[in-house]
């Protein structure tokens, strides 16, 4: 199961919209049939997740990703394998972008408004930092709207051949600036990008 990792911009008055996604070497964020079994991370990544969940960011999911996250992070296995991260996931504020009714008992969860772009803007104006977690379709929509402030990609040392491309279907060319990077002992590489301001 993938681990949530995201950056902290809490010093800013204006909130930010960021994203964190896992990626294969050949550019897929999930395989065929929603397969993410190729995500493989150890103690170093787990510790990094624990530290970054303390940032207090509100988490944003698409509905399919949310249902997958809810299924795992409310399970006995999650509490047994990742007790600290699981507790942090329960306590985090969670938003879901869904065009159908959202039925959930996962605490601290609610839907975005129908006009979700305005909803996100209002939350950012209140100083709320929001992180898209593992939802490639939501990420692409926000890229097309040019409302992503920064994002992080955890690139795993594996090629899966088939799947859903993270940037496939973008409506325009997108340019970003590399802010920082980190290499993990597992061979995974974390790349942190920010939006390139057009002049």
The pLDDT of residue 197: 63
Model pTM score: 0.86
CATH ID of 17-178, from 3.40.430.10, 3.40.190.10, 3.40.50.1100, 3.40.50.300: 3.40.430.10
Helix (H, G, I), strand (E, B) or coil at 157: coil
Q: Would you list the domain boundaries of the chain?
A: 17-178
Q: Which residues of 59-75 are buried (b: 16+ CB within 10 A; e: fewer)?
A: bbbbbbbbbbbbeebbe
Q: Which of 104, 16, 28, 22 is nearest to 63 (CA)?
A: 104
Tens of pLDDT, residue by residue over 117-173, are 999 999 999 999 999 998 999 999 999 998 999 999 999 999 999 999 999 988 988
The reported pLDDT for the residue numbered 198 is 60
Instruction: State pLDDT tens for residues 45-86.
Output: 888 877 777 667 899 999 999 999 999 999 999 999 889 889
pLDDT at 144: 92
């Amino acid at each position: 199961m993938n681990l949530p990792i995201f950056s902290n911009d809490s010093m800013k008055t204006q909130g930010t919209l960021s994203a964190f996604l896992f990626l294969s070497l050949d550019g897929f964020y999930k395989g065929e049939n929603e397969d993410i079994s190729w995500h493989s991370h150890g103690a170093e990544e787990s510790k990094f997740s624990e530290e970054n969940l303390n940032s207090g960011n509100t988490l944003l999911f698409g509905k399919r990703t949310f249902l997958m996250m809810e299924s795992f992070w409310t399970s006995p296995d999650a509490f047994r394998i990742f007790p600290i991260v699981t507790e942090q996931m329960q306590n985090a504020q969670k938003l879901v972008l869904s065009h159908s009714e959202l039925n959930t008992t996962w605490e601290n969860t609610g839907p975005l408004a129908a006009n979700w772009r305005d909803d996100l803007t209002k939350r950012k104006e209140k100083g709320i930092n929001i992180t898209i977690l593992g939802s490639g379709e939501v990420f692409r929509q926000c890229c097309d709207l040019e409302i992503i402030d920064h994002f992080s990609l955890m690139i795993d040392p594996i090629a899966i051949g088939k799947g859903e491309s993270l940037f496939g279907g973008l409506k325009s060319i997108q340019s970003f600036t590399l802010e920082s990077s980190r290499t993990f002992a597992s061979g995974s590489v974390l790349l942190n990008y920010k939006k390139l301001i057009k002049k």
